[in-house]
Amino acid sequence: MTTVGGFLVKLLGGVSAEQREGLSLDPGARQWEIPGRVDVAVFFKALPALLPDGATLFVEGKPSARVKEFLGAHAVEATAKIERGTGWPRQVVFHVAVDRDTMNGLAELAEEHAAPELADHIVVYRDNRVLLSWYDFVDDPIYLAGEVADEQVEEFCRALAVQATRRP
């Protein structure tokens, strides 16, 4: 049975609460907080060295046609359902490998496009665990799982010219 709210979500082209559910960074676990106002191109270039091989970047947003084409061409099969950041309007999602070539391609696109043309929300996951979460891309802080080694976080932050803070 469809509820009135569910009917309106469907009618208006939104994402239902059930469809928005998925993996997210555990808010109760230790995390790193990194300022979000960073050079997005540098962020993408530095990402592969920060995270383990086999990590996947989840991108949600309203990307420009060129970004959408790039993400579609580099899409990989989703191995996890990630919590959606936006209920309305419905946004497109992509899953791409966090490898040097793909991230360098995104870095090039970041040089030519404003942040909203790239993504609204970014999540990196591996093995059913969220490792990095950057909702409200560029405006909000970047949250990183506490299990990422201190040395890797320090190197990543040096590249971004920011400092990370441990959150309990």
The answer to whether position 5 is within a domain reads no
The answer to whether position 129 is within a domain reads yes
The answer to whether position 20 is within a domain reads yes
Least confident of 15-24, 39-48, 94-103, 140-149: 15-24
The answer to whether position 38 is within a domain reads yes
What is the rounded average pLDDT for all residues in the chain?
86
Q: Total structural domains in the chain?
A: 1
| Distance between CA atoms of residues 49 and 157, nearest Å | 12
Least confident of 15-24, 41-50, 148-157: 15-24
Residue 74 and residue 116 in contact, taking contact as beta carbons nearer than 8 Å: no
The answer to whether position 7 is within a domain reads no
- Partners of 167 in the beta sheet? 31
CA 114 vs CA 35, 76, 129: distances in Å: 18, 24, 29
The answer to whether position 1 is within a domain reads no
Integer-rounded Cα Rg, in Å, for the chain is 16
Domain of 108 in residue numbering reads as: 15-167
- CA 90-62-84 angle, 5° bins: 50
Residue 152 and residue 49 in contact, taking contact as beta carbons nearer than 8 Å: yes
| pTM of the complete model beyond 0.75 | yes
Above 70 in pLDDT, residue 142? yes
The answer to whether position 2 is within a domain reads no
Beta carbons within 8 Å of 89's beta carbon, 6+ residues apart = 12, 13, 14, 62
What digits encode the pLDDT tens for the residues 63-112?
Answer: 999 999 999 999 999 999 887 655 445 578 999 999 999 999 999 999 99
The answer to whether position 158 is within a domain reads yes
